[in-house]
Every structure is written in C-alpha cells, then in structure tokens.
C-alpha cells in the first residue's frame, strides 16, 4: 500500500523534498511510515529533527486532516491512500 507525505515549506527546505510517496506493508501503522521518512531525513539538515531513527516529538503529524504526535503513531492504523502532512512547531505570541 502507499501513503503520501507532504512537508511544509521550511521542513521541505531542510529535507530536500516537498512530498514523497512511501510504500508500506499491508499491516503497517503510522509509526512505520514515519520511521521511513525519518530515515530519508538522514544526511540532510532535517536530520536534527530525528531522535533514535524517529521523528522528533515536536513535529505535528496530520493524517487526512486529523492531527497526532509522532509518539501516538503506533496507535494509528493505515489503510493506504492517506495524505500525511508534517508540520514544524510554530512559535508565536
């Protein structure tokens, strides 16, 4: 099955790609898909946004419009065809 990742502008600049389709096994959960993207970050400026082969917990993950944190990803089942957006934290005041 396939899922599609899209990165926000600044994250895309760091990672060197804006979107990517990832191939997954049929029983894969979101955490497996995120590990593949974290691996893709290695060797780029986005590598600092990973810890132990996983995305940093501050990155917001949005699966088909529903937000979750990377540390919740083991609970998210994927069926294929999902659009997964990765967003950097935003500071403001």
Query: What residue ranges define each of the domains in the chain, with the CATH number in brackets?
Result: 2-87 (3.10.20.30)
What Å distances lie between residue 20 and 60, 92, 93, CA to CA? 17, 29, 33
**Whether this model's pTM surpasses 0.85:** yes
Reply yes or no on whether the pLDDT at 93 is more than 60: no
pLDDT digits (tens, 9 = 90+) for 8-64: 998 999 999 999 999 999 989 999 999 999 999 988 988 888 888 888 888 899 999
pLDDT of residue 67: 92
pLDDT of residue 80: 94
């Amino acid at each position: 099955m396939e899922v599609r990742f899209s990165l926000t502008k600044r994250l895309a600049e760091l990672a060197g790609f804006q979107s990517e389709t990832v191939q997954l096994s049929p029983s894969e959960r979101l955490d497996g898909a995120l590990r593949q993207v974290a691996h893709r970050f290695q060797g780029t400026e986005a590598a600092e946004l990973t810890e132990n082969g996983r995305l940093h917990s501050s990155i917001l993950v949005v699966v088909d419009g529903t937000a979750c944190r990377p540390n919740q990803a083991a609970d998210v089942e994927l069926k294929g065809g999902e659009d997964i957006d990765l967003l950097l934290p935003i500071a403001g005041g």
